[in-house]
Amino acid sequence: MKNKVQLITYVDRLGVKNINGLAELLNTELKGMFGGVHILPFFNPIDGEDAGFDPINHKQIDPRLGEWSDIKQLSSSVEVMADLIVNHMSADSIEFQDYLEKGDESEYASLFLTYNSVFPNGAAEQELVSIYRPRPGFPFNKMKFKDGSEKLIWTTFTPKQIDIDVYSEKGEAYLEDILTIYEESNIKMIRLDAAGYAIKKAGTSCFMIPETFAFIAELTEKAHRRGIEVLVEIHSYFKTQIEIAKKVDYVYDFALPVLVLDTIYNKDAGNLKKWLAIAPRNVITVLDTHDGIGIVDVASENGEPGLIPDTVLDEIVKTMHKKSEGRSLKATGAAASNLDLYQVNCTYYEALGKDDEAYLLARAIQFFVPGVPQVYYVGVFGDENDMELLAQTNVGRDINRHYYTLEEIAKNKETSLFQSLSALMKLRNRVEAFNGDFAVLDSPAENLKLKWTSGDNYIQLNANLSATTFEIEGIENGEAINFKI
């Protein structure tokens, strides 16, 4: 994968209707800004309960968006990343509906996980409470079959997302088929969605257990044989993330978003510098995504300190809500049918109080820390929370999932914020020193100096946190680099 800025986007939320429209946008309005694109679920349907993460048919592109040949054509101009949803499929899928109709006689019966298939001898109370949960309650839902019988079906996330047995014959074939389609469509990287929950074993937390690592390793090997790299998406305690990174191609640096907020809010880069000293290097960096801003990734766990002291972290969360004038509170925690207990739903721009200078500083830090940077489509324009969409759907994460029109995009392109961010992204894409050696230079806590060196070439970020300003200097093939905010 190219070490260039990547776009994270849905196909139909950037003013275009299909994959071909997205390709045209990337080659015109957004030309030169991105070396790759992570297309969020484009499977059939894109408008399920979880915005495509509950596919009825993972092997089919939603016909409203196009066909696999369109993905292959897009990949000729930018590298394409796609999700591989390994943990579950839709309750409306042909496979699960067949199971509900025929029960154990269904050819797909072994594909789905039930309480009994994981706990054939029943489960003690301690086994059940030990299951790691990203959301309230137990991961089961009682479902009725055509013959009137009922079973507890394993549903990690929602009743519409039915967990599959990835080691069953049907489960292995299902994932293999998707990988084959991806290879044929020239997809260069897959993001394993919810991979940490994929393996369930009695007597464990059912989250990132040794068997999970083994499954990820096996799936990664299958992907590599097809020329596909693997990104594992897991929110977890920072030490766990460090260990996971040792065993996979790429992980997200999910600690970075809150550490950057800490750095800018408190005008102190101390916690960020400590993280950069130990952080994995095989990372994808983000500030914003289609989900919320993760808190668990920097928090303490079981008495072990986190990357940010819990008291400071509490104040950071309060500041996010204050900076957004309370709008993020309407989409976070128990509000707006929200089930993600470890995230704050808010655009990153509003989390910084709609301060252009602070936002550009945050992006500059992201582009200078180790890793391949991704920018979420709403973040490309430094946009506000979509309270109208939130009111329509009452889904917390929709606060940061705006549907743009081409007119909105044209208007946003004229802003000084977009023009500065675009210039910063193009600088990140063209400077070869970013492929060299990284160093955090000594500086007072209220300053941050990050440097990349490759031979005689270098590029350096000098951030003044007290003034919320920065400048970039360097040498590229004998030519001076100067960029200042």
Helix (H, G, I), strand (E, B) or coil at 77: coil
Mean of per-residue pLDDT scores for the chain: 95
pLDDT-derived band at 468 (thresholds 50, 70, 90) equals: very high
8-state DSSP, 328: G
Please, are residues 35 and 4 in contact by the beta-carbon 8 Å criterion? yes
Q: Which of 233, 297, 350, 383 is catalytic?
A: 233
**Lowest mean pLDDT: which of 233-247, 336-350, 394-408, 444-458?**
336-350
Could you report the per-residue pLDDT of 389-427, keeping only the tens digit for each? 999 999 899 999 999 999 999 999 999 999 999 999 999
**pLDDT score at 485:** 78
**Lowest mean pLDDT: which of 19-33, 165-179, 215-229, 230-244?**
230-244
Could you report the per-residue pLDDT of 7-38, keeping only the tens digit for each? 999 999 999 999 999 999 999 999 999 999 99
Residue-wise over 89-108: b if at least 16 C-beta within 10 A, else e? bbbbbebbbbbbeeeeebeb
Q: Enter the pTM of the model.
A: 0.94
Q: Are strands 447-454 and 437-441 parallel, antiparallel or unpaired?
A: antiparallel
340 is catalytic: no
193 is catalytic: yes
Select from 156, 147, 145, 148 the least CA-distant residue to 54.
156
pLDDT surpassing 90 at residue 386: yes
Helix (H, G, I), strand (E, B) or coil at 158: coil
DSSP state letters, 331-381: GSTTGGG---TTEE---HHHHTTT-HHHHHHHHHHHHHSSSEEEEEHHHHT
**pLDDT score at 174:** 97
Could you report the per-residue pLDDT of 63-88, keeping only the tens digit for each? 999 999 999 999 999 999 999 999 99
pLDDT surpassing 60 at residue 338: no
pLDDT-derived band at 247 (thresholds 50, 70, 90) equals: confident
pLDDT surpassing 60 at residue 337: no
**pLDDT score at 48:** 84
pLDDT surpassing 80 at residue 382: yes
Q: Are strands 161-163 and 189-193 parallel, antiparallel or unpaired?
A: unpaired
Please, are residues 37 and 80 in contact by the beta-carbon 8 Å criterion? yes
User: Per-residue pLDDT averaged across 143-161, rounded?
Assistant: 96
User: Per-residue pLDDT averaged across 253-262, rounded?
Assistant: 98
**pLDDT score at 334:** 64
Please state the length of the chain.
485
pLDDT-derived band at 336 (thresholds 50, 70, 90) equals: very low
Burial class (CB in 10 A: 0-12, 13-18, 19+), 246: exposed
Q: What are phi and psi of 393, to 5 degrees?
A: -100, -25
Please, are residues 282 and 373 in contact by the beta-carbon 8 Å criterion? no
Please, are residues 253 and 279 in contact by the beta-carbon 8 Å criterion? yes
pLDDT surpassing 90 at residue 104: yes
Select from 140, 137, 143, 159 the least CA-distant residue to 50.
159
pLDDT-derived band at 339 (thresholds 50, 70, 90) equals: very low
pLDDT-derived band at 341 (thresholds 50, 70, 90) equals: low
**pLDDT score at 134:** 73
**Rounded percentage of the chain residues whose pLDDT exceeds 70:** 98
d(CA 243, CA 216): 13
CA distances from 210 to 197, 455, 458, 473 (A): 12, 42, 41, 45
Q: Which of 62, 193, 262, 398 is catalytic?
A: 193
pLDDT surpassing 50 at residue 429: yes
Q: How many other C-beta atoms lie within 10 A of the C-beta of residue 169?
A: 10
pLDDT surpassing 90 at residue 340: no
User: Where does 185-329 have alpha helices with state H?
Assistant: 210-224, 238-245, 256-266, 270-278, 310-323
Please, are residues 230 and 187 in contact by the beta-carbon 8 Å criterion? no
8-state DSSP, 164: B
**pLDDT score at 335:** 60
